[in-house]
Amino acid sequence: MKKSERAKRAPAPAPKGEIPVPQHVKSKSPPSSLFVDKANIKAEAGSGGNGAVSFHREKYVAAGGPDGGDGGRGGNIVLKTDRNMSTLMDFRYKRKYSAENGADGAGKLCSGKSGADLMIRVPDGTVIRDRETGAVIRDMTGPEPFVLARGGGGGFGNKHFATPTRQAPRFAKAGFPGEKRDVTLELKLLADVGLVGFPNVGKSTLLSAASNARPKIADYHFTTLHPNLGLVYVDEGESFVMADIPGIIEGASDGAGLGHDFLRHIDRCRLILHVADVSGVEGRDPVADFEAINEELRRYDPGLASRPQLAVANKCDIADEEILEKFRAYAADKDIRLYEISAAARMNIKELILVAARELRKLPPITVYEPEYIPPPALPGAPEDTEITSEDGVWFLSGQWLDRVVRNTNFDDTESRAFFNRSLENGGVFTRLRELGIEQGDTVSVYELEFEWEK
């Protein structure tokens, strides 16, 4: 390669006085477009393996008998929290998760291998909801894993069906299918204190001044496009988590701005710091802003309006005295505790942190949502759910229960075929066919099998 070509491909030198950042080092703050706090996924646990039909064969051992082993259990879908995850970005492109199926049984009473569980990691504070009903299945807060979908049990081998009168059973049971779940993952940040207020009032600056967080800060609206978390140190052995909730403006509860997406992150906050700009630089009225934001919180969730709240007058180092006095009078009239600070100048920040810590000691712990979801019955369908349709003398049968019966039947064995007929007769399927007008010689189609109807 020529020297000129190497020069073209070399990275541009860092400005004088700055240390160049290696290209492989990623920024700690991901781009706002990568913050994902809601995702839909499909989870399918593994199906159990089928039981084996086998007979013991050994020289000098007559009539060794059945020795078919059982099928293995299907793998579970397990959820576990990961404190190193802060978004649901991993679920943006991959939506389907399937656990391993159990292996089939084998001869010599060998059971099939159980399918491996599939572990899915989610951020701490993720709420799992049923996609159809919206009911809460589980609040993933804490280290305890949760089995979202259980694998199916393995089928019995023919050894289980040997009796004194049936010494050579030529059938076994099929494995049970694993559970399937269509769920919505909804991330609700785990923060003790939430910062709310109109854009550009100084929430991000306050977060950076009070905690170890380093959010992007700039002098334009909607600089912050995703929630930021910071750990606030109070004293030896005492700290709390503070969150900057962006995008809340008038009409946020109806979807205006970014508030419709991020209002959910205030749900768990035990204390709200309501930040208002009293500088008058942008011509804002802190009283009107304060009331507008509280109205949006009330419309989103009436419980948020009654959440403990402290008013924070920011930018007091450049405050318009008339605006600040008006805000003081409003707070006094409404019996709201007002604290005057300047996040940029680091004025009264320590005092505000101590007040917030003192309030948190009186408040209950972070909310954990109770499960609301009622799982469907574990039984694989019922005989009456069998669907029957007819076309040109052919009667088509289908259904979850019927599929289970077919899988458990060895149609090459007389006893097993008799079990199939008894199951359909006792389940009322034959009675329904007669009531629907099936005639002698008509064809009954059960999945890929066809039979001729005889009265």
User: What does 67-130 look like in DSSP terms, one character per residue?
Assistant: -PPPPPPPPPEEEEEETT--SSGGGTT--EEEPPPPPPPBTTTBPPPPPPPEEEEEETTEEEEE
419 within domain boundaries: yes
The three-state secondary structure class of 173 is coil
User: Do 300 and 199 share a structural domain?
Assistant: yes
410 in Cβ contact with 416 (< 8 Å): yes
User: Do 357 and 208 share a structural domain?
Assistant: yes
Task: Give the domain range for residue 281.
Answer: 193-362
Per-residue pLDDT tens listing for the chain (455 residues): 444 444 444 444 444 333 333 333 333 334 444 457 789 999 999 999 999 999 998 888 888 889 999 999 999 999 999 988 878 888 988 999 999 999 999 999 999 999 999 999 999 999 999 999 999 999 999 899 999 999 999 999 999 988 888 888 888 998 989 999 999 999 887 889 999 988 888 888 999 999 886 766 655 455 555 678 888 999 888 899 998 887 666 554 444 444 456 677 788 899 999 999 999 888 889 999 999 888 888 888 888 878 899 999 999 999 999 999 999 999 999 999 999 999 999 999 999 999 999 999 999 888 888 888 877 665 556 888 889 998 888 899 988 888 888 888 888 888 888 888 888 999 899 999 999 888 888 899 998 788 888 86
pTM above threshold 0.85 = no
CATH at 49: 2.70.210.12
The three-state secondary structure class of 286 is helix
Domain boundary among 187, 222, 239: 187
**Which residue carries 């075929």 as its tokens?**
417
CA atoms of 123 and 121, how far apart (whole Å): 7
What's the confidence (pLDDT) of residue 17? Answer: 34
Domain tally for the chain? Answer: 3
What's the confidence (pLDDT) of residue 276? Answer: 94
CATH at 443: 3.30.300.350
User: Do 216 and 147 share a structural domain?
Assistant: no
327 within domain boundaries: yes
User: Do 177 and 88 share a structural domain?
Assistant: yes
Structure tokens at 334: 């409404």
User: Do 63 and 157 share a structural domain?
Assistant: yes
User: Do 251 and 204 share a structural domain?
Assistant: yes
User: Do 176 and 200 share a structural domain?
Assistant: no
Structure tokens at 107: 């001869």
14 within domain boundaries: no
User: Do 282 and 338 share a structural domain?
Assistant: yes
312 in Cβ contact with 274 (< 8 Å): yes
Domain boundary among 187, 216, 247: 187
Handedness of CA 405, 407, 411, 415 (dihedral sign): negative
Question: How many C-beta atoms lie closer than 10 Å to residue 105's C-beta?
Answer: 30
- Assign 3-state DSSP to the chain and report helix, strand, coil percentages, each to 5: 25, 25, 50
Q: Give, for 221, the enclosing helix (H) or strand (E).
A: none
Domain boundary among 187, 204, 237: 187
CB-based burial, 227-255: b 16+ in 10 Å, e otherwise: bbbbebeeeeeebbbbbbbbbbbbebbee
Of 453, 401, 407, 448, nearest in space to 427 by CA: 401
